Structure 1
Amino acid sequence: MGSYLARRLALLLKELPPAEKAVAELILADVGKSVSLSISELARLARTSKTTVLRLCQRLGFSSFKDFRLALARESSYSLESLNLCITEEDDIPTLVAKVRQLHTEAINTALSSVDPKVLEQVAKLLLKARYIRLFASGGAAVTALDAHHKLIRMGLPSYLSLDQREQKMLAGLSEPNDVVWGFSFSGASISILEALKIARATGATIVSLTNNRNSPIARISHYSLFGVTNYLSHFTGTIEFRISQLSIVDSLFLTMIKIGLPEVYSPLQKTQEIIEADLYRRNKHNSNPEEGGDHG
């Protein structure tokens, strides 16, 4: 599976609806044969419709089946050195760096090609008008939640991040109908997060989730769901694709919120940026001019 498109398709496989998955599996079973098929032939072999085939192509970023087939044919027409994404003890440092770059690139491409712009816009509007935003996370997903919390603060929004299970449930129970409770999880099946979201939903709060599992309990209980990639390919690095793909979704949401929220969010963004820059300036001045005084102990 040296083809970049084929690897993207494989990474996306578990996220696809059944009809699109049948098309993807057919392509992956024989990439060489697939590039010689028409859209009608591919649809017939996959026992689905031409519309489904086109929908899969658009999910991968192509406007037509013809464009997708040409790109697939171009990649398969020459021999790419297959990059084994499993980290091994024999890998030297340049190889490790190359594999991390490939993992990041494929995870981001897959996540952003699958994101629903309408859902992204709906969540952005919801967060901008919320009375209060509570973020719940645990484990590795806490990194994504902290990044989201920081971005919400930058826009002057009332945000609070909780990583404690009991505190999450207490805050969930204190939520109100015009609040947003946002759950973060890689698996989408974290029992503590799920229980807190159920409590918050019972109060009338709106539930948003960011997970890597479209069919997870957390996604099903949410009013709005965002998703990173489903699969991870590296064994030693673990959830690197989960994390980087979620961060790419948060970045996309942040920019969407800025676009929708201007000019109101401009002032808090400017003020917080000035604070960040002033803090960095003082540190640099402090470190580079020790003779100016201060505690250097």
Structure 2
Amino acid sequence: MSTDFQQGRRNLGARLRELRTEAGLTGKQLAARLGWQPSKVSRLENGRQTATVADLEAWANALEATGVLSELKGRLRGLETAYRSWKRHLAAGHRAVQEASALREAQTKTIHVFESGIIPGLFQTPEYARGVLADVSDRIGSPRDIEAGVRARMQRQEVLYRPGRHFHALIWEGALHVARCAPEAMAAQLDRLCGVIGLDTVTLGVIPFGVRTHFSPKHGFWIMDERLVVVETWNAELWLDSTDDVALYRRIWNLMAASAIYEHKAHRLITRARDQFTRP
């Protein structure tokens, strides 16, 4: 979880505490009005739990302070912009998330990508994407609109063929060997990845096993036009837009790019990985 998110949640909690004390109520008294356990009031005020819109509405109504509700909701929106738990993010299904990603990518001219354990979504085949989204749905407990999500992900890939776009992608070699679908589908996915190398809009590098590096492949990230970094973790998607954060991730990406191989060397490495999925 990002430090900015934690600080923002603490700031919101401090504001909720301020409103309660101004109303002359103790935490226990407010909890009784709300029908909550006192521990929930404490967690919200101390920034240990993220409030929902319903929580904020109940808080403001209980304190007869509905005039500050728009302010509180604005603070919460700021938190949700930076930190989106997958459970909330996927509440409306995979299609909605893919369509939101497509809109963000359509508004971006240059994307720098690093993935350590998965083929980037813009390069995925339908079978591979189906396996990935099904795994996410099982893990998060999100709606299983898998086919709608796959179709939307395939539509996202149209941006690869638009002039004036540039996609600089780096993949850790391990991602080529992680089977997210049946062997024949994995072979087809790696064929697709080889085909991507020939696109005018794409520069694809693979970071081989055993190469000397100055970094650890902790997690994947996407840098959008040098203004936003999108980081996916197990439980959430983080949006980092501070100048320092963007600059740090770009420096890391540059270090990774220096360790990668490209063009025919990358093609040979991908082909060797493909062969393991076609052996009898």
Q: TM above 0.5, one fold?
A: no
| Structure with more strand by fraction | 2
TM-score (norm 2): 0.29
TM-score (norm 1): 0.28
